[in-house]
Amino acid sequence: MRIALFATCLVDGLFPEVGKATVTVLRRLGHQVVFPMEQTCCGQMHVNTGYPREALPLVRRYADTFEPYDAIVTPSGSCAGAIRHQHAQVARQFGDDALVDRVEAVAARSYELSELLVDVLGVTDVGASYPHRVTYHPTCHSLRILRVGDRPLRLLRAVDGIDLVELPQAQTCCGFGGTFALKNSETSTAMLADKMRAIQSTGAQMCAATDASCLMHIGGGMSRLDVGTETVHLAQILASTKDAR
């Protein structure tokens, strides 16, 4: 299958290794992955902060860029949720019915990585090997907006050598929430402290998730605690093999 990668702003700018890992996994499974250079932001941060008019050109650009592809994958439950649920709302808000039809068609072919692997490609064992104690944080957007369910866990359970341990109160938010962490820093910090205590209680070496944004927030807190627990994106675990170590 010819699959287009939508990297997202955060992965493109700060965590390119997550995008590369996504490509590695899909190529190992025999698929062609392309990176359309015209891609930009999905517009989620504009919509979430009350600027839908500024999001409209980004919504149109996403459709223009990814319309030619049969499948689009993104290593972000948050951005996939925005594409799936916000793009048509924005186009409809400004009365562009033609754009509504286009973005709905492209959104139907846009998947978060675990959705693409499990639902479209029909695989849970991608040949990964990761001999570490790992706990999994299901990010709010992937869990509540995109409803990926246990797909990431099904992929992780199939990884050779992994010691996957349950995270207490896993469905509790880490406190990031985009600009929420900036506008409500004290509340965000308190929520992060709860999340870090839960992660520490597992004894895990690594905390995994499907969103680099939440991992950035959690990773920053864990580094200040200096307890040795690190963060890792699901794609990086799935890309890891015995030969790669």
Low-confidence ranges of the chain (pLDDT < 50): none
pLDDT at residue 60, as a whole number: 97
Other beta carbons less than 10 A from residue 70's beta carbon: 10
pLDDT score at 245: 59
Q: What is the DSSP letter of 178?
A: T
Q: Which architecture characterizes domain 133-239 according to CATH?
A: 3-Layer(aba) Sandwich (3.40)
5 three-state secondary structure: strand
Give this prediction's pTM: 0.94
pLDDT value of residue 51? 96
Give the three-class secondary structure for 102.
helix
Q: Phi-psi bin for 147: left (phi > 0), alpha (psi -120 to 50), beta?
A: left
Asked if residues 85 and 20 have their Cβ atoms less than 8 Å apart, the reply is no
**Which tens digit of pLDDT belongs to each residue from 31-61?**
999 999 999 999 999 999 999 999 999 999 9
Structural domain boundaries in the chain: 2-120, 133-239
pLDDT of residue 225: 85
Q: Which residues pair with 34 in a beta bridge?
A: 4
